[in-house]
Amino acid sequence: MPGIRPVAGRVPGILSGTAFRKSWHNPLVPTSFLLLVPLCAFVAAAYAAVGLGGGTGYLALMTLFGMDTEAMPSTALLLNVVVTGAALLRFGLAGRLRPRLLLPFLLPAIPAAFAGGLISAPRQIFLLALAAGLTAAAAAMLRSAGSNDEPSTPVPAVLLAVAIPSGILIGLASGFLGIGGGVFLGPLVLLLGWAAPREVAAMSSATVFTLSIAGLAAHGLRGSIDLHIAGPLAIAVLVGGLAGAHLAETRLSAKALKRLFAVIILVAAARAAFSALT
């Protein structure tokens, strides 16, 4: 999930964007960049475990380290594509992806994401509503984490009746906010009881991967990506994403995955609320 698009400009941080790029061209790698790389890898591992890209986490770190805000959205989208591509590969090889359940959500979400990128509306009210909705979803997920109920397969008519309008709303919100969409799809499918946590993680990976690519195309890679910075970060999040997806597949229980998903959703809710109030 790439996160909420910041306002263009420069954000004070540990190292300003210009100094950051200039110092990276120097023979000595700046200490701040050496801190940023493993931190991004850690974020990627945590998010990939539940099928998300970590965009909100990368944006927070890039803001802290003073990266130019014009380059942040496209860089976060690129990192999202790398992480969710790695997670999707891992979950796909394990047979977790369920196309018949995913596609009714995903297909209407793709054009809606393009349309959402063109919407101009008061962001503050939308972000506050988003924060409230995500908080409620996280709370419900935490309450259901102890449940051992087996997922049920919806009948096609019910699936289409829920998935098509939900996919459109997910796409519109993703395009409007500049996020990957998995943060919406995952809790919805889990709360409906239509898939197990690992299957939901695979669906979320596919959703974020697809909508992030759509976002890059729709926004025309606005905000140039400095490959001297994005390249090492992409390698770091690739390693972190593979590690996180492998951990989710082999080590974490379904209950642990639900709790981790809920915590990450709460982080996204907190970021939305903070962005709305600042």
Measured between alpha carbons, how far is 257 from 168 in angstroms, rounded to an integer? 27
Q: What is the mean pLDDT of the chain?
A: 78
% of residues, the chain, pLDDT over 90: 19
pLDDT one-digit tens code per residue, 123-154: 677 778 778 877 877 787 777 666 666 788 89
- pTM for this one? 0.74
Mean pLDDT across 173-198: 82
Residue 51 φ/ψ region, left for φ over 0, alpha for ψ in the -120 to 50 degree band, beta for the rest? left
**What local confidence, expressed as pLDDT, does residue 24 receive?**
44
pLDDT one-digit tens code per residue, 27-50: 335 677 788 899 999 989 988 888
Neighbouring residues of 211: CB distance < 8 A, sequence distance ≥ 6: 109, 110, 113, 171, 174, 175, 180, 181
Residue 21 above 70 pLDDT?
no
Residue 18 above 60 pLDDT?
no
Measured between alpha carbons, how far is 235 from 221 in angstroms, rounded to an integer? 19
Mean pLDDT across 203-217: 84
**Which pLDDT band, with edges at 50, 70 and 90, does 253 fall under?**
confident
pLDDT one-digit tens code per residue, 85-117: 998 888 887 788 899 999 999 999 998 887 877
**What local confidence, expressed as pLDDT, does residue 275 receive?**
76
% of residues, the chain, pLDDT over 70: 79
Measured between alpha carbons, how far is 156 from 172 in angstroms, rounded to an integer? 24
Taking alpha carbons only, the member of 200, 180, 218 closest to residue 76 is: 180
